[in-house]
Amino acid sequence: MTFSIEEVKKELAVRMPDIKLRTIRDSLLIENPENLPRVAVFLKENPAFLLDYLSSVTGADYLNYLESIYHFYSMAKKHGPLVLRVRVPKHSATVPTLVPIYRSAELQEREAYDTFGIVYEGHPDLRRLFMWEGFEGYPLRKDYAQEDSETLETADVSWLEARGVTVPAEMKQKAQELRDSGERALAQKPLKPRN
Q: How deeply is 39 buried, as exposed, middle or buried, from its count of CB atoms within 10 A (0-12, 13-18, 19+)? A: buried
CB of 157 to other proteins, least distance (A): 8
Q: How deeply is 139 buried, as exposed, middle or buried, from its count of CB atoms within 10 A (0-12, 13-18, 19+)? A: middle
Taking a C-beta distance cutoff of 8 angstroms, is the pair 163, 141 a contact? Answer: no
Cβ nearer to other proteins, comparing 14 with 25: 25
CB of 144 to other proteins, least distance (A): 7
Cβ nearer to other proteins, comparing 35 with 68: 68
Total Cβ atoms within 10 A of residue 134: 6
CB of 154 to other proteins, least distance (A): 11
Residue 139: asked if its preceding bond is cis (omega within 30°), the reply is no
Cβ nearer to other proteins, comparing 39 with 51: 51
Cβ nearer to other proteins, comparing 33 with 80: 80
CB of 62 to other proteins, least distance (A): 4
